[in-house]
Amino acid sequence: MITFVAMTTPAIETIPSLTQLSEDELLLRNSVREFANAQVRPLVREMDEHAKFPRALIDKLFDLGIMGIEIPESFGGAGGRFFHAVLVVEELSRVDPSVGVLVDVQNTLVINALLRWANAEMKQRVLPKLAAGSVGAYALSEAVSGSDAFALQTRATKDGDHYVIQGRKLWITNANEADFFIVFATINPDAGYKGITAFLVERGTPGFTVGKKEDKLGIRASSTCELVFEECRVPASNVIGDVGKGYKVAIETLNEGRIGIGAQMLGLAAGALDHAVRYTKERKQFGKAIAEFQGVQFQLARMAIDVEASRLLIYNAARLRDQGLPFLTEAAMCKLFSSEVAEQAASLAVNLFGGNGFVKEYPVEKLYRDAKIGQIYEGTTNLQLQTIAKQLLA
Ligand SMILES: Cc1cc2nc3c(=O)[nH]c(=O)nc-3n(C[C@H](O)[C@H](O)[C@H](O)COP(=O)(O)OP(=O)(O)OC[C@H]3O[C@@H](n4cnc5c(N)ncnc54)[C@H](O)[C@@H]3O)c2cc1C
């Protein structure tokens, strides 16, 4: 007979539901929601058309304290948790997934990697700047190495107390805005992944230039550029973590970062649902609002279920991460699922807007374009399936 030992079982009221927000989480979510509606929404179309963020908007993100969420207060950051970053990315992406990814890369990749792997001197030097006005970028991918990231060819050669970096990076988010770049290069191509080393490279370092900017389908305001390193000398003290252990920095930050991409896609889907609900209540056909037709109601209901399921997967992965519990499979699942939900929700929103869904004057065609990237960056859908299957079969 099973006995329930009351002593070891937490009282049910001490286990919050995943979506129940604490006071600080609620306050943060509401502030960012208000900010996104007031400061981002009026700029969305223009930023998409011009494929650019106004610097004034980036400055406001810093003023709000959401560009250094996990940076300790002693370095000028907000002293928050990973879950806070997830909430922020979700809320911003509900209005504009481009702004969502700018903030996501800053927090869940760049700052996350530095907090974990930078030495005390580098933290002291860089984190206050990242909290106060400097944007960061994370440069792993190259023309020949996307999914197979560790086949990278950018080379770092030791020369006295410096490394000389030679090579090119491709598709680097935030490249146009960034002052600090985390760059992965190999110190020994024959050593395979064990040669990979992470470096901090500052804008303005001789031999380093930001190259061609991609003209993209979606998240157009977010800059995606090539980085060019020609005999670029960086001090050996700019190595992040250990020499030859850059693969660990890359894998472990990306495992966490993809929860942030999940949050971006969740926000996008929730935004598509918001627009669809509002529009279907306003648009009249056959003498009544289209939201009064059961066929439309059921489509909205399905969207709401998908958004909620996506939120549960993401919040669970983020809360596991903050508790120091294993989250690898959960992170892969939430990223894969939420990116598929985002594409479906945006597509359905376009359908529900009818002809208006297909034109730029209305907001949903942009969300449809923006959704596609969720299945590509920070590990394609196939790579997430691979991670999940590997854990399943281990
Ligand atoms: C807008 C944008 C922003 C980006 N931002 C950054 C950034 O900030 N930093 C950065 O480092 N990179 C960035 N990237 C790069 C991105 O992470 C890669 O594009 C992505 O990892 C996929 O790599 P790939 O494009 O080379 O595709 P490939 O690896 O060539 O994949 C092509 C197809 O093959 C499939 N495939 C590949 N290998 C396998 C396999 N073993 N099994 C089954 N299927 C497989 C993939 O799933 C995919 O469908 C960005 C890309 C874009 C488009």
Asked if 236 and 188 count as a contact pair (C-beta separation under 8 A), the reply is: no
Query: Ligand 1: which of 171, 225, 385 to mutate, judged by most atoms within 8 Å of the beta carbon?
Result: 171
In this prediction, residue 96 carries a pLDDT of 98
Phi and psi angles of residue 71, each rounded to the nearest 5 degrees, phi first: -70, 130
- Residue nearest to ligand 1 atom 16, measured at CA: 377
Count of CB atoms situated within 10 Å of the CB of 237: 12
Number of Cβ atoms within 10 Å of the Cβ of 33: 16
Does any ligand 1 atom lie closer than 6 A to the CB of residue 377? yes
Q: What is the pLDDT of residue 9?
A: 57
DSSP E strands, 245-303: 284-285, 288-289
Name the 3-class secondary structure at 143.
coil
Q: Would you say residue 169 has pLDDT above 50?
A: yes
Give the span between the Cα atoms of 285 and 205, in whole angstroms.
Answer: 61
Six token digits for residue 115: 């907090």
Ligand 1, atom 32, lies closest to the CA of: 147
Residue 242 DSSP code? S
* Whether residue 140 has its Cβ less than 6 Å from ligand 1: yes
The predicted-structure confidence for 271-283, as pLDDT tens digits, reads as follows 999 999 999 999 9
Given a contact cutoff of 8 angstroms between Cβ atoms, the answer to whether 102 and 135 are in contact is yes
pLDDT digits (tens, 9 = 90+) for 212-252: 999 999 999 999 999 999 999 999 999 999 999 999 999 99
Task: Determine whether 378 is an active site residue.
Answer: yes
> Which of 106, 135, 141, 381 most suits a substitution to test ligand 1, by most atoms within 8 Å of the C-beta?
141
Rg of the chain (C-alpha set) = 22
Q: Is any atom of ligand 1 closer than 6 Å to the C-beta of 135?
A: no
250 lines ligand 1 (CB under 6 A): no
What percentage of residues in the chain have a pLDDT greater than 70? 97
Tell me if 296 sits within 8 A of 351, measured CB to CB: no
pLDDT for 370: 98
Residue 91 has pLDDT above 80, yes or no: yes
> What is the rounded CA–CA span in Å between residue 90 and residue 305?
17
Q: How far apart are CA 371 and CA 377, in angstroms?
A: 11
Nearest CA residue ID for atom 12, ligand 1: 141
Minimal-distance CA residue to ligand 1 atom 17: 377
To the nearest 10°, report the CA torsion of 148, 82, 26, 135: -80
Ligand 1 atom nearest residue 148's Cα: 29
